[in-house]
């Protein structure tokens, strides 16, 4: 019986310009590390994350969590910036009717 091939964990998280805004994501999916970070911060286990995103596996969930922890300050800041952007948008356009085009971040 042959041993399973080893996986280079560096291949589990990718960033591709034009896919999910170029944000780090789980390879082979459109699930960003930020989505996983949000779930992680809400107390979801990796197994529960699979229920939310059936296109990922445990390797991807753990890789995204590890990537998040290793880059926590930058990812937390990015998420805070996005939250501030949304709050400002809601403040400016309380009826949900914004301009015809969204501003580029």
> Are 33 and 24 contacting, i.e. CB atoms less than 8 angstroms apart?
yes
Predicted confidence band of residue 103 (pLDDT cuts 50, 70, 90): low
Mean pLDDT of the region 28-53: 96
> What's the whole-model pTM score?
0.81
* pLDDT score at 102: 61
User: Is residue 49 predicted with pLDDT exceeding 80?
Assistant: yes
* pLDDT score at 7: 82
Question: Which one is predicted more confidently, 39 or 89?
Answer: 39
* pLDDT score at 94: 78
Report the length, in residues, of the chain.
Answer: 105
**How is 39-103 classified by DSSP, letter by letter?**
HHHTT--HHHHHHH-TT--HHHHHHHHHHHHHTHHHHHHHHHHHHHHHHHHHHH-TTS---SSPP
CATH 1.10.3720.10, applies to 9-92: no
């Amino acid at each position: 019986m042959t041993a399973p091939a080893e996986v280079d964990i560096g291949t589990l998280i990718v960033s591709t310009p034009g896919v999910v805004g170029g944000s780090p994501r789980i390879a082979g999916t459109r699930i960003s590390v930020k989505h996983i970070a949000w779930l992680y911060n809400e107390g979801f286990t990796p197994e529960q994350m699979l229920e939310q995103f059936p296109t990922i596996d445990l390797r991807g969930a753990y890789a995204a969590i590890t990537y998040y922890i290793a880059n926590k300050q930058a990812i937390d800041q990015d998420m805070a910036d996005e939250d501030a952007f949304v709050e400002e948008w809601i403040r400016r356009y309380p009826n949900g009717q914004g301009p015809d085009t969204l501003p580029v971040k």
